[in-house]
Amino acid sequence: MHIHSYRLRNFRRLKDAHIELANDISIFVGSNNSGKTSATQAIYAFITGGRDRFSLYDFNSSCWKLFQEAGDINLADPNLEGFSLPSIDLDLWFEVAASDLYLVIPLLPSTAWEGTKVGIRISLTARSPIELVRNYQKAKAKSAEQSAGLPPDSRYVPWPRSMTDYLQREFRNEYELRYFILDHAQFDESLCEIGDYAPDELGGEPGGGAILRSLIQIDNLGAQRHLADPNPEAGGRSEDLSKRLSRFYKRNLQQKQEDHTALKALFDSEQALNVHLDEVFKPLLDRLAELGYPGINNPKLKIMSSLDPAQVMNQDARVHYQIGDEDDTATLPDSYNGLGFKNLIYMVAEILDAQNKWASMENRPPLHLIFVEEPEAHLHAQLQQVFIRNVLDLLKIDGDNRSIFSSQMVITTHSPHILYERGFKPIRYFRRKKAGSEQRTEVLNLSAFYQAQPDDRDFLERYLKLTHCDLFFADAAILVEGNVERLLLPVMIQKVAKPLRSACLCILEVGGAFGHRFQSLIEFLGLTTLIITDIDSVALVAEGAGGVVDDEEIQEFEVPADTEEGGGMQARAAEEPVAPAPKKKYGTACLPREEGAATSNQTLIKWLPGKLTIEALRAASDADKTHELDDGAKVRVAYQTERAVTWNGATENLYGRTLEEDFGLENPEWSQGAMRKQLGLIVKGGAADPVALAEGLHKRVSGKSFDKTKFALAVLTEDEHEWNVPTYIRDGLVWLKDELQIERESGMPEAVRIEVAARGEHG
C-alpha cells in the first residue's frame, strides 16, 4: 500500500491541485512562489495537527471575496437552504493491494467495493455557516452600539470591521475538521467528482483523524535547519550538530545504562566513554560513508564526550573532527567544519531518527511519508547528486516486512543537479498559471510526459543532463540557436529589455536543427518561451545533385509529408493516428533574397511558424509566429526579418541568413570599421552597395576560417552603446518582457493583495 495522490482545494495558491506521488520518491520543482512548500505543509497539517495548524490566511485569495459577501446576507431570507462558506479540502487516495485490504476497511465505501484506490476527504469547514454569519453580525452590531458615542469625524472602526476581520480572531471556534469516505467509482480518471456526488461523512469511533494516523506516520525535515547561526542570543533558531546527534543517541542507540562495566568506565575514564560513543555511532557514520562522506580530503568524524561525572548519560556528546589517522592527532569541535557536511550529517540523522521512531511505534502505521525541503542547502553539486542517489537506502529497515510497511519520500528542491541525477519520472512540476485576475498552480506529473512522448523524452532527458535542468525553475525560457546567441544575450537584454534581468530566465542552446524537439516539453510545462533562431536559407537542389554541387555543401533536412510546396502546412486530421513519414529535402546555403529560397531550419518548418519557403517566412504575421498554450502562456519565434539597410548612400531592404550576417547588416558602418577587424566581418575590397555588403558578409561568415565564438567574444569587448541589437532579437526580447509584465500584473486585486501580503505562497 502507498499514497497514490492527493488533491488540495482552496489552500493558498493551490486552488485545485492534484498531486500524484511515486511509490518511492517524488521531487517537487517549480519557480519560486509556485506552491511547493504549501503542498507539503497542507498534508502535514491535515494529518498531524488538526485545525489548530490552520488560519484564515491559508484560504485561497478567491475565498476572501466570498467571505466578505457572506457577511452581508439576510438571515431572514427563506432561500438560505444549502448556504455554505468556503472550505479547505484534502482528498487523499491510497493505492491498496488485495493483501492490504484489511488495513483500510473503515474507508471502504461499501461491502461491494472493487478496485485498488481507497480515498478519504478531510475538510476544514464551518461548523454551521448560518450560525457563523449570525455570530459575526451580532458582534458587528454590538461593537457599533458600543462605539456610537465616538465623535462623528472619528475614523476608528471597531472590531469586527468585516467578516474576514471577525474570522481572523474567531477562526478556530467557527471551523472544524470533518472526514468523508470517497467512492472511487464516483470519480473520473483525474480523480475529480462526477456530477453532484456528495461523499458520506465518516462518523463514530475511532474517528477520521485516528484512522488516518493509524495509516500514516508523517515527518517533515524543513528547509530552515539553522546550522549557520552560532549566536547564543538566537534562542531556538540555533542548534549545533553535536546537540542533534546527542538527541539521536538518546532516542535510538543502545545506551549502556544497565551495563555496569560501561558505567564504571564512564567514571573511571573519559576514554572509555569515547570508545563507547564510537561503537554506538558506527552505524550512522557507516551510512554517511555511503553518501560520500568524509571523502578523500575531508576530516573524519569523531564523537567525544564532554564528561560531567555528576550527570553521566544526560551530558551532551560532542562532535569533533579528527585531522589525520594517528592516535595523537588534533581534533577540532564541530563548529570548525563546513556547513555543507554539517547539513548532510544533520539530514541523515534526522531521516534515520524518523525511520527508527516509526519502526519502534507500538501500533505502527503501515505508511511512512517523509518530506525533505531543499536538501541542497550548503552542498556542492557532486554531493547533492550523491545524496539524492543514495537517500532511498536510508529508508531501508532491516527485518521489515515490506509487503506491509512502506516508505515514501517527497523532496522539494531548486537544484538542477538533483534533477540531473533522478531524471524526469519523479518530477512533479508546479506550474503557475493565470485564471482571470487570479494566479493559481497546476501540478504536472512528468512521468506522464515520459510515457506519452517516447520519441522526444530520451533526447530531452539526455540533453538536459548534459546541460542543465534550470527549465523547471524558470519564469520563462529562451531557446537560442547556438553559443554566439547564448554569449551575447545577457548584453542584448541589458540594452533593449532591461526588466528581463529581474526575471528568472532559462537560456537553452538548442540549435535550429533540434529546437523543435523541445516543443512537447515546453507545451507540457506551459512555460512562456521565446525561440531565437536563424532563417537558414537554402537554395533547393534535387536529390543526387552531387555532380553539380559539392557534396559537402549540400544540406539534408526534413519537411512534414503534408507540407505544401508553396510554403505552408496542410490541415491535419485531428483523428489521424500516425503521421506519415517526413519527406527529405536538399539545399545549399544562400542569401534569403534569392528567388525560390527555402529554410532548412527544423524549428521554423516543424514548430513555428510552420513554413518552408523564405517568402512564406517573410510574410508570416505576428500571429503566425506566436502560439498560445492551454493555460495562457505563449511561445514566440524570432528569426531574421527584412529592414532598411543603408550603405554607401544606398538603401535596400535586406536580412541576413544567420545572426552574424544580420548583426553586420544592422551595424554596417560600425562593423566595417578598421578598428573592428577582430569581429571578422570586414568585407575584403569593400562593398559598393547594401546588396554587395550582404553578399560579402555571407561569404565571410560561411567561410571555414570564420570563428563564431571569437566573433561573440570580440563583440563583448566593445562598448555596448556603439552597436545595435539585430531587429528580430530586439523585437523578440521586447515581446518576452511585455509577456512577463502581463503575468505579474494579472495577480489578485490590489485590496486583496494588501490584506494577504503576509500569507507567503498565495494566489
Structure confidence at residue 325 (pLDDT): 66
Contact 181, 202 (CB under 8 A): yes
Which residues have a Cβ under 8 Å from the Cβ of 752 and sit 6 or more positions away? 61, 64, 65
pLDDT tens digits along 72-119 = 999 999 888 889 999 999 999 999 998 889 999 999 999 888 889 999
**pLDDT confidence of residue 180:** 97
Residue spans of the domains in the chain: they are 2-21+47-210, 238-344, 643-725
pLDDT at residue 370, as a whole number: 97
Alpha helices for 597-672 (secondary structure H): 602-606, 614-619, 659-666, 668-671
Cell numbers for 209, please give them.
483523524
Asked whether the whole model's pTM tops 0.75, one would answer yes
> What is the structure's pLDDT at 308?
46
Angle subtended by helix axes 727-745 and 659-666, to nearest 10: 100
Quick one: which of 100, 132, 138, 106 has its CA closest to 120?
A: 106
The pLDDT of residue 306 is 59
Number of H helices, E strands in the chain: 24, 26
CA distance 497 to 734: 6
Q: What is the pLDDT of residue 305?
A: 66
Res 547: pLDDT: 53
> How far is residue 455's CA from residue 583's CA, in Å, rounded to a whole number?
18
Backbone angles phi, psi at 692, to 5 degrees: -65, -35
- Residues 176-189: tens digit of each pLDDT: 999 999 999 999 99
Interval 320-352: pLDDT, tens = 667 666 666 776 666 656 677 778 888 988 999
Query: Mind spelling out the 3-state secondary structure of 371-411?
Result: EEECCCCCCCHHHHHHHHHHHHHHHCCCCCCCCCCEEEEEE
Specify the pLDDT at position 260.
58
3-state secondary structure of 147: coil
Q: What is the number of other CB atoms lying within 10 angstroms of the CB of residue 526?
A: 20
- What cell numbers appear for 168 in the block? 481572523
Q: Which long-range contacts (CB under 8 A, 24 or more apart) does 320-326 make?
A: 323/299
User: Are the C-beta atoms of 284 and 228 separated by less than 8 Å?
Assistant: no
pLDDT at 338: 66
| Residue 664 · residue 697 · CB < 8 Å | yes
- Residue 341: what pLDDT? 76
Is the four-CA dihedral 138, 141, 146, 147 of positive or negative sign? positive
CA angle in degrees (0–180, nearest 5) for 235-172-93? 90
Residues 6+ apart with CB under 8 A from 566: 613, 616
Residues of the chain scoring pLDDT < 50: 228-238, 256, 308-315, 571-576, 747-763
Amino acid 455: pLDDT? 74
Q: What is the pLDDT of residue 228?
A: 46
